[in-house]
Amino acid sequence: MAELLRPAPVDEELSQRVFWFTQLRWLATFTVVVGTFVATNFLGVGVNPLPLYLIGAAIALYNFQFLAGLKRAETAPKNSWLNSARSIANAQIVVDLFFLTLLIHFTGGVENPLSFFYIFHVIIASILLSRQQTFLQATVANLFYGGLVLGEFVGLIPHVHLFGAASPDMSRDGFYVASALLVFGSTLYLAAYMATSITGRLRERDQEIMDLTEKLGLKAKELGEAYNHLAELERIKSEHLGKISFEIKPHLATIQTCLRTTLETLDGEKPAVRRDLIERADRHSQRLLNVANDLSVLSRAREARMFTDRKPVDLLEIVQRVVTINKPEADAKSITLSAEFLEQPPCLFADPNALEQVAANLVSNAVTYTLEGGRVEILVDALGNAARLRVKDTGIGISATDLPKVFNEFYRAENARRFNEEGSGLGLSIVKGIVETLGGQVDIDSHVGQGTIFTIVLPGGPLPCKKSDPNGN
């Protein structure tokens, strides 16, 4: 079986299996001692019990040593512990095979059917060790058993008769010895092959299960993150719906009140009152229309399908038009509104309406949140192959706490809400959405009480624009 990249669960359980194997040896010790006593005292088996008792004692003694070694190895790092456990397992099996050979020698040698216990150790090796190490243990078992049988056959090792004066002496029968060795060796290697094949398949399945579990864990994590993301989107959506409702309700209530009052005074002689109510209703209707327009623009920008009608646009023309539109409101507050064209910017390839909305939102915000007598400057120049638009004001500014949130939908800074109750909190979100859709970037620098600077950088388009006259001629 190919080496695995990481320990399979069978290997992870190696410590438990080695301990199990060690504990099982107490049963072997008990069986040797009790079996010897019963066989020699009650069954009349004619063997010398002393060597067998000594073998049982030796098994118990080295089992204590192995247990102590396992306890010490447990304190080692995981990889070192696995290597130590495999080494201890190898050593235990070799020692067990040696003492099993001694046990068989003193209980009849080739005549003793206990030779089948070698197969038990091969199976244990297939569970604890690799295929290569299992076949190595099978070879060790063949060497021990073959050495014993051949040693008795040639007379190097004295043969102990299991059944007394058995005739003929099977340990000296060449045909029987050859047959026994052939059957023993083939059985042992066949057992090693079958056991390691089954164990190998189990390890492969364990590896597949572990890989699948890991993949399922990753998928579960991804699904959890996706769920959390969806939950967050749902929360944001609910929050936005609440803000839209909060923004729309007062205007609708005012419109309804104005219309009802107007209806009630139709028969009266209060034209001034009716005119005031109708004007209020018109103002609030316009605010609702503005909110609806902002939401429509923002939705299109977020869906990345905005402004398909792109063409060469001159930023100077856009800025001149926006300044003209906002000039009356700036004059009403004695605010100095000026535009300075430092150099001809590159032509932009964009939707002119979208670009005008960006400039209009920034300039309108600057005028709205600048105190009377303040200043609003619009600077246009080139930045490499890009066009740069800066809107600077001396207004109320934005706190460091609010700065990271000003581009969030429906967000309005606390000082902005105190300064002006009106506003949907969508203007800067729209600016950011449009600029990013056009492939540009927007930055902000602001300090409370010192004013704000918005900087827009947009990439130049592939086509030239006609030269603009900064003076509008």
* Tens-digit pLDDT string for the chain (473 aa): 334 334 445 455 666 778 888 888 899 899 999 999 998 888 877 788 999 999 999 999 999 998 888 888 777 676 677 777 788 889 999 999 999 999 999 988 888 878 888 998 899 888 888 889 999 999 999 999 999 999 999 989 998 877 554 445 778 888 888 888 898 889 898 888 888 888 888 878 877 888 888 889 898 888 888 888 877 766 666 566 556 656 666 666 676 676 666 666 655 556 676 667 676 666 666 666 656 565 555 555 554 445 556 788 888 999 999 999 889 889 989 999 999 888 888 888 888 888 888 898 899 889 988 899 999 999 999 888 889 999 999 988 888 888 888 887 666 777 676 766 565 567 788 888 888 888 899 999 988 888 999 999 998 866 556 654 544 44
Last residue of a domain, one of 221, 244, 261: 221
Same domain, 329 and 205: no
C-alpha 470/C-alpha 339 separation (Å) is 9
DSSP assignment of 224-284? HHHHHHHHHHHHHHHHHHHHHHHHHHHHHHHHHHHHHHHHHTTTSS-HHHHHHHHHHHHHH
Domain CATH for 327:
3.30.565.10
Task: Report yes or no: 388 and 455 within 8 Å, Cβ to Cβ.
Answer: yes
Provide the token pair at 341: 């064209």
Nearest to 428 by CA among 461, 394, 458, 391: 391
Q: Which pLDDT score is estimated for 234?
A: 63
Same domain, 186 and 327: no
Q: Which pLDDT score is estimated for 313?
A: 86
Q: Which pLDDT score is estimated for 67?
A: 87
State how many domains the chain has: 2
State how far Cα 370 lies from the chain centre: 48
Q: Which pLDDT score is estimated for 7?
A: 47
| Any domain includes 400 | yes
Q: Which pLDDT score is estimated for 289?
A: 61
Same domain, 212 and 315: no
Same domain, 209 and 328: no
Q: Which pLDDT score is estimated for 1?
A: 37
Residue 302 DSSP one-character state: H
Domain containing 318 equals: 311-459
Burial 411-444 (b: 16+ CB within 10 A, else e): bbbebbeebeeebbbbbbbbbbbbbebbebebee
| Any domain includes 145 | yes
Cβ contacts of 460 within 8 Å, gap of 6 or more: 345, 346, 347, 348, 349, 385, 386, 387
Q: How many CB atoms lie within 10 A of CB 42?
A: 8
Provide the token pair at 55: 């073998």
Q: Which pLDDT score is estimated for 383?
A: 86
Q: Which pLDDT score is estimated for 248?
A: 66
pTM, rounded to two decimals: 0.49
Last residue of a domain, one of 200, 221, 242: 221
C-alpha 58/C-alpha 51 separation (Å) is 10
Q: Which pLDDT score is estimated for 256?
A: 65
C-alpha 258/C-alpha 273 separation (Å) is 10
| Any domain includes 229 | no
| Any domain includes 282 | no
| Any domain includes 407 | yes
Q: What is the dihedral of CA 128, 63, 67, 90, to 10 degrees?
A: -30
| Any domain includes 356 | yes
C-alpha 64/C-alpha 82 separation (Å) is 20
Task: Report yes or no: 435 and 442 within 8 Å, Cβ to Cβ.
Answer: yes
Same domain, 92 and 197: yes
| Any domain includes 278 | no
| Any domain includes 245 | no
Nearest to 283 by CA among 255, 250, 249: 255
Last residue of a domain, one of 168, 202, 221: 221
